[in-house]
């Protein structure tokens, strides 16, 4: 039975794109597929889409897109600062957001290296 907390087709698309990057590892975070660099999560597969951690200004810019919403995990009603959720109907379209995923990776890598 598929896990309804994430889309398997999105996981496959993200695996193909992100796990090919040197240093990126896949792991589970709260039972959800996520992607790490230096042990820090920069992206996650959640419900209908994919989440990414970005600097506040970049996250705010992305929220102007119709397919991007604030990340509010597990119906908590609390938005996670620096995190947004990209919801694409076709999983293969996440490849169009590769630059966003790379920006998230670089941001989290910078935070890991500076102790932030």
Determine the pLDDT at residue 72.
87
Domain 8-114 fold: 3.90.1150
pLDDT averaged over every residue in the chain? 92
Task: Provide the whole-model pTM.
Answer: 0.90
> Rounded distance, CA 14 to CA 52, Å?
12
List beta partners, residue 84: 52, 70
16-25, 31-40, 70-79, 85-94: least confident range: 70-79
Question: Could you write out the DSSP letters of every residue in 9-61?
Answer: HHHHHHHHHHTTSTTEEEEEETTEEEEEETTEEEEEEEBTEEEEE--HHHHHH
- Binned at pLDDT 50, 70 and 90, residue 19 comes out as very high
- Of 109, 112, 51, whose CA–CA distance to 80 is shortest? 51
pLDDT higher than threshold 70 for residue 1: no
pLDDT higher than threshold 80 for residue 2: no
Other beta carbons within 10 angstroms of residue 45's beta carbon come to 28
């Amino acid at each position: 039975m598929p896990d309804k907390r994430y889309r398997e087709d999105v996981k496959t698309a993200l695996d193909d794109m992100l796990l090919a990057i040197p240093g990126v590892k896949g792991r589970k975070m709260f039972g959800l597929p996520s992607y790490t660099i230096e042990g820090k999560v920069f992206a996650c597969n959640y419900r209908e889409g994919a989440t990414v951690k970005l600097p506040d200004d970049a996250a705010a810019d992305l929220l102007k897109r119709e397919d991007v919403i604030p990340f509010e995990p597990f119906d908590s009603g609390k938005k996670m600062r620096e995190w947004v959720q990209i919801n694409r109907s076709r999983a293969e379209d996440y490849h169009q957001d590769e630059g966003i995923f790379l920006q998230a990776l670089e941001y989290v890598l910078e935070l890991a290296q500076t102790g932030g």
